[in-house]
Amino acid sequence: MHTLEVKTRTAGKANAIRQQGAVPGIVYGPSIESMPIAVERHALLGLFSQITRSSRITLSIAGESETKEMDVFLKVVDYDPITDEPKHVDFYHPDAGHPVKLDVPVKIVGEPKGVKTGGILNVLFNTIPVHGLPKDIPNLYTIDVSGLDMGEGIHMRDIDLGEVESMLPPERTVVTVIAPRGLMIEEEEEEIEGEEGIEGEEGIEGEGAETEEEAAEEETASEGE
């Protein structure tokens, strides 16, 4: 669990907060009133380097009279289009006993056997949408692809999701090793050449059979004479 210290703020003071080196934000959820907050920019950037979109975060919220803690997920970050600095951040506080839907990032580890022989690793999903209780949602799913050969893949049914459910069907492919385009064209050409060779051999046999029949007919005709 990651902890971030924030302060409550007065709504409508966003520009003044940015000038003080902080980032305005808001915390909201189905069972709480929306709460305007401010977080020190350096602390927020440090948090971004440690979490994923599905990481649970504990906000330590300092108010006028007390400090309270609240579990949240990072929901939305608005960035300045010129400086790329965060301008505003939204945090979502779920009900602990109610399931939520989140996209959990995928981390690929290992080098597939098929890649070592010229294949290309094709990652179809960088995140997996899941449905479950907030406490059961992981930071990420690690998928080891070391054993994949050319043409093989890992499907949703092959991944241990823990206590949550996938919102993708079991047969959906997450990652696969495919042949390079050039190799695929080569294989297709070899197949075509092979088929042409077989057809050619059949043609030769057919001509030979016809010649033998003609020879037999000529021999019979000669005997009759």
> Domain map of the chain by residue range?
2-92, 100-178
Provide the pLDDT for residue 183. 58
Collapsing DSSP to helix, strand or coil, 214 comes out as helix
pLDDT in tens, 60-116: 999 877 899 999 999 999 999 999 999 999 999 999 889 999 999 999 999 999 999
Determine the CATH number of domain 100-178. 2.170.120.20
For residue 203, name the pLDDT band (cuts at 50, 70, 90). very low
| Confidence check: pLDDT of 156 > 50 | yes
Residue that the structure tokens 């459910």 belong to: 165
Query: Fold match between 2-92 and 100-178?
Result: no
Pairing between strand 127-132 and 165-166? antiparallel
From first CA to last CA, the distance across the chain in angstroms is: 107
Distance CA 19, CA 22 (A): 7
Distance CA 1, CA 97 (A): 18
Distance CA 98, CA 212 (A): 85
pLDDT in tens, 36-45: 999 999 999 9
Which CATH homologous superfamily contains domain 2-92? Ribosomal Protein L25; Chain P (2.40.240.10)
